[in-house]
């Protein structure tokens, strides 16, 4: 079954294993097996060990299915690829959060990365300039003084 032939995922909070099986084109016993092989896949279990999957888990199952069935990865290869993807998403989220915090504080100028380092951002460590540390120290001192002034 190709990715384009999979049905769209309805807008609901939880899906049973049967629903996920239909949405992803994978038998329920395969889903249970994948839970053992892919640690990121952890559906909620209720009475009688009934599994309830959330939307993000359905998307992850579709990604696993694509890696295994369409792209021809082995289980361990798909596990590694999925781990890389999850780590990349975490890194992207951190970068987005940092950019939002920089946008909120215009006193801090964003760091521009040299083009040569653009390809391997994960090894970079931010080292603030002496001037920015000095400004931060002044701001923290002002905050401390304000806190002590407001004490009864």
What are the residue boundaries of the structural domains of the chain, listed by start? 3-126
Report the C-alpha gap between 109 and 123 in whole angstroms.
21
In sequence order, what are the residues at sequence separation of 6 or more whose Cβ sits closer than 8 angstroms to the Cβ of residue 46?
A: 52
- Model pLDDT, residue 131: 80
- Model pLDDT, residue 59: 94
Strands (E), 36-90: 44-46, 50-53
pLDDT 10s digit of each residue in the chain, 152 long?
A: 445 589 999 999 999 999 999 999 999 999 999 999 999 899 999 989 899 999 999 999 999 999 999 999 999 999 999 888 888 888 888 877 777 665 555 555 555 555 555 555 555 555 667 787 888 888 888 888 888 776 66
- Model pLDDT, residue 79: 92
Q: Please list the residues that pair with 44 across neighbouring strands.
A: 52
Whether domain 3-126 has CATH 3.40.50.2300: the reply is no
> Which residue in 38, 92, 45, 43 sits closest to 64, CA to CA?
38
Sign (positive/negative) of CA torsion 10, 24, 59, 53?
Answer: positive
In sequence order, what are the residues at sequence separation of 6 or more whose Cβ sits closer than 8 angstroms to the Cβ of residue 129?
A: none
- Model pLDDT, residue 107: 55
Do 44 and 30 meet the contact criterion of CB atoms below 8 Å apart?
A: no
3-state SS class at 29: helix
């Amino acid at each position: 079954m190709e990715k384009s032939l999979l049905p769209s995922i309805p807008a609901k909070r939880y899906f049973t294993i049967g629903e996920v099986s239909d949405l992803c084109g994978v038998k329920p016993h395969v889903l249970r097996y994948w839970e053992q092989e892919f640690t990121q896949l952890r559906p909620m279990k209720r009475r009688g060990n009934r599994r309830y999957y959330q939307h993000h888990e359905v998307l992850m199952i579709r990604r696993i299915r694509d890696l295994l069935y369409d792209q021809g990865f082995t289980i361990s290869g798909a596990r590694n690829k999925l781990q890389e993807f999850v780590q990349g998403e975490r890194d992207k989220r951190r970068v987005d959060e940092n950019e939002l915090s920089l946008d909120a504080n215009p006193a801090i100028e964003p760091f521009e990365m040299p083009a040569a380092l653009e390809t391997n951002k994960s090894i970079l460590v931010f080292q603030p300039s002496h001037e920015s540390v000095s400004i931060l120290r002044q701001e923290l001192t002002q905050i401390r003084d304000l806190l002590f002034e407001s004490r009864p």
